[in-house]
Chains A and B, each alone.
Chain A
């Protein structure tokens, strides 16, 4: 029984309660800053009807760099108001896809429209309505925090006074008002990231592209970023996010595609993907390895035979996919297995990825 308690406590400090907390904080703070987006509540409602044309539409989308294929014929649609994710390891083709959507990378082949427009011919018009949070911060170290936003507003053809008004609102939104006149360089990674998010909102975009928005941030900074993104989503901003963190995808995305080696290997909501590709629970067993690893694996494999839907042997642990992890753990013990540690947890997108590719997601 103690085993399950451990599993649950890990679970409880993970995804679900945090998610609930967001729901609460959003309703509390909807009054804060009003960032008028084209997608107000009425259009957000309309967005949920399937009649609305997708904001992003891709069919057979390809990107090649010379002989290297970064994106190999992917299909997806992003509907207005949804939070859509690209989940996959480094090099899966997520960033290349985002750059094509952002019209800063020409499409090699296939169809891509953004806001119903062709990126090749109407790039500037698309970018005028887009917010982009790139993977690298690309902040201007020669300018102050406020000036970074001011000039960015000018790039979108806002007047200086309008740009200043929005910049101040956005600094409030990302909690950087006190740092307005500071240089960018000494800001922490989390602050820089928030500043980049503020910058991406200066043109009041209806579609926000976020390329690994929290990579390299500490847990507090990640949660603050997630919180701000969640608020934007509540206001009807469509989010398009790449990540290689499954907890991030589970937190933020209504729907996502799993990318691996330039292709989309699965698509659905986080819950659907977990239901489709893995079991409800996962039992993790760690063993003290002896000299002969192959022999060990075979031995463990034999013992677990027929005990679960599927067994995945990783270098450091064995994953047992089962509806009832506790029962599986007891059965394994009965069969004479003596693991060094046992953990029962709910299945996550990490498991989806593992079951789809047989490899760990963060490599």
Chain B
């Protein structure tokens, strides 16, 4: 990507320097979370779902939700990372303002922290993938490609949320964002059941959210049921969401930080 400037890499370096202190706990949490989720929902809840004879996609429930949870976990982490920590850099610790007194510009901050979120969600997704493989929840080697899909999905949320964060003066808006945005998406974007089971009027709503496309793409790869055109549409949708988010963030970051 031509947009990755040397200055934005410096911001990524900053975040990695901070990460050096907490990486072990982070990796530990990154392994235990998916394990707990997959055992509880995939195996535990799956025990009942599998008996229903009405399996979504005709596969064991664990196999159905594993790729979806891989993607939603990345999305959740990205949403969080682009809200409170960014607000702190803008408003509370004001470290963005310190960086702006160097040759680094507002767009570099946005891109640098997006790279950081990409790095972090890559780590998380790889760990998740290891748990999925350990539990035998993937039926195709293509499942490894669910990792980049998860990272794209994460960025499709991170970019617009960072743009939003730069318009806020406190964290009040984040509660609404998570309550009415992120959590419903997590539950209703085809994660736990197909969106065809949603009321008819809600289906298009689910369809336009990036999470639906990330989940659908990851699931196709994991189950080895790739439809090239469908997959291309899903990926194009994610890339478009990132593009819109970066374009918006470019404006809101500048407006907020260079006044």
Name A's B-contacting residues (CB within 8 A).
65, 102, 104-106, 123-125, 127-128, 130, 132, 134, 136, 138-143, 147, 150-152, 154-157, 199-200, 203
* Chain A residues in 8 Å Cβ range of B6: 157
* Chain B residues in 8 Å Cβ range of A123: 105
Give the contacting residue for B102; candidates A106, A134, A150, A203; CB below 8 A. A203
Give the contacting residue for A124; candidates B17, B21, B97, B105; CB below 8 A. B105
Instruction: Report the nearest A residue to B13, measured CB to CB.
Output: A154
Q: How far is the CB of B217 from chain A (nearest CB, A)?
A: 34
Instruction: Report the nearest A residue to B102, measured CB to CB.
Output: A155
Q: A105-B258, A151-B13 are in contact. Are A140 and B95 (CB under 8 A)?
A: yes
Assess whether B18 is in contact with A143, with CB atoms less than 8 Å apart. Answer: yes
Q: A106-B258, A134-B97, A152-B98 are in contact. Are A128 and B17 (CB under 8 A)?
A: no
For the complex of A and B, 7 pairs with smallest distance between CB atoms: A155-B102, A132-B101, A138-B98, A124-B103, A138-B94, A142-B18, A128-B103
* Chain A residues in 8 Å Cβ range of B104: 124, 155
* Chain A residues in 8 Å Cβ range of B101: 102, 104, 127, 130, 132, 134, 200
Q: Does B99 contact A (CB under 8 A)?
A: yes
Q: How many inter-chain contacts with C-beta < 8 Å in the A-B complex?
A: 73
Assess whether B100 is in contact with A104, with CB atoms less than 8 Å apart. Answer: yes
Q: How far is the CB of B210 from chain A (nearest CB, A)?
A: 29
Q: When chains A and B are docked, how far (Å) is the Cα of A81 from the Cα of B81?
A: 44
Q: When chains A and B are docked, how far (Å) is the Cα of A147 from the Cα of B18?
A: 9
Instruction: Report the nearest A residue to B99, measured CB to CB.
Output: A155
Assess whether B258 is in contact with A104, with CB atoms less than 8 Å apart. Answer: yes
Q: How far is the CB of A242 from chain B (nearest CB, A)?
A: 15
Instruction: Report the nearest A residue to B96, measured CB to CB.
Output: A138
Instruction: Report the nearest A residue to B19, measured CB to CB.
Output: A142
* Chain B residues in 8 Å Cβ range of A139: 93, 95, 98
Q: A106-B258, A151-B14, A154-B13 are in contact. Are A140 and B98 (CB under 8 A)?
A: yes
Q: How far is the CB of A209 from chain B (nearest CB, A)?
A: 9
Assess whether B97 is in contact with A151, with CB atoms less than 8 Å apart. Answer: no
Give the contacting residue for B10; candidates A138, A155, A200; CB below 8 A. A155
Q: Does B259 contact A (CB under 8 A)?
A: yes
* Chain B residues in 8 Å Cβ range of A143: 17-18
Q: When chains A and B are docked, how far (Å) is the Cα of A155 from the Cα of B14?
A: 9
Assess whether A147 is in contact with B102, with CB atoms less than 8 Å apart. Answer: no
* Chain A residues in 8 Å Cβ range of B14: 140, 151, 154
Q: How far is the CB of A162 from chain B (nearest CB, A)?
A: 14
Instruction: Report the nearest A residue to B259, measured CB to CB.
Output: A105
* Chain B residues in 8 Å Cβ range of A65: 259
Q: A105-B258, A155-B102 are in contact. Are A140 and B93 (CB under 8 A)?
A: yes
Within 8 A of A (CB), among B5-36: 6-7, 10, 13-14, 17-18, 21
Instruction: Report the nearest B residue to A102, measured CB to CB.
Output: B101
Instruction: Report the nearest B residue to A156, measured CB to CB.
Output: B102
Show 10 A/B contacts (Cβ-Cβ < 8 Å), sorted by A.
A104-B257, A106-B259, A127-B101, A127-B103, A130-B101, A136-B94, A139-B93, A140-B95, A142-B21, A151-B13
* Chain A residues in 8 Å Cβ range of B95: 138-140
Instruction: Report the nearest B residue to A65, measured CB to CB.
Output: B259
Q: How far is the CB of A86 from chain B (nearest CB, A)?
A: 18
Q: When chains A and B are docked, how far (Å) is the Cα of A189 from the Cα of B104?
A: 27
Q: A136-B94, A138-B97, A143-B18 are in contact. Are A156 and B258 (CB under 8 A)?
A: no
User: Among the interface residues A127, A142, A199, which one has the most CB atoms of the partner chain B within 10 A?
Assistant: A142
Q: When chains A and B are docked, how far (Å) is the Cα of A157 from the Cα of B6?
A: 9
Instruction: Report the nearest B residue to A128, measured CB to CB.
Output: B103
* Chain B residues in 8 Å Cβ range of A138: 93-95, 97-98
Q: How far is the CB of B175 from chain A (nearest CB, A)?
A: 23
Q: When chains A and B are docked, how far (Å) is the Cα of A141 from the Cα of B94?
A: 10
* Chain B residues in 8 Å Cβ range of A127: 101-103
Q: How far is the CB of A327 from chain B (nearest CB, A)?
A: 52
Q: When chains A and B are docked, how far (Å) is the Cα of A143 from the Cα of B98?
A: 14
* Chain A residues in 8 Å Cβ range of B100: 104
Instruction: Report the nearest B residue to A63, measured CB to CB.
Output: B259
User: Among the interface residues B6, B103, B104, which one has the most CB atoms of the partner chain A within 10 A?
Assistant: B103
Q: A106-B258, A142-B18, A143-B18 are in contact. Are A155 and B94 (CB under 8 A)?
A: no
Give the contacting residue for B103; candidates A132, A141, A147, A155; CB below 8 A. A155
Instruction: Report the nearest A residue to B106, measured CB to CB.
Output: A104
Within 8 A of A (CB), among B83-115: 93-95, 97-105
* Chain B residues in 8 Å Cβ range of A200: 101
Within 8 A of A (CB), among B232-256: none
Q: How far is the CB of A337 from chain B (nearest CB, A)?
A: 52
Q: When chains A and B are docked, how far (Å) is the Cα of A124 from the Cα of B99?
A: 11
Instruction: Report the nearest B residue to A130, measured CB to CB.
Output: B101
Q: How far is the CB of A241 from chain B (nearest CB, A)?
A: 16
Q: When chains A and B are docked, how far (Å) is the Cα of A355 from the Cα of B157?
A: 58
Q: How far is the CB of B63 from chain A (nearest CB, A)?
A: 40
* Chain A residues in 8 Å Cβ range of B13: 151, 154
* Chain A residues in 8 Å Cβ range of B10: 151, 154-155, 157
Instruction: Report the nearest A residue to B21, measured CB to CB.
Output: A142
* Chain A residues in 8 Å Cβ range of B259: 65, 105-106
Q: How far is the CB of B162 from chain A (nearest CB, A)?
A: 18
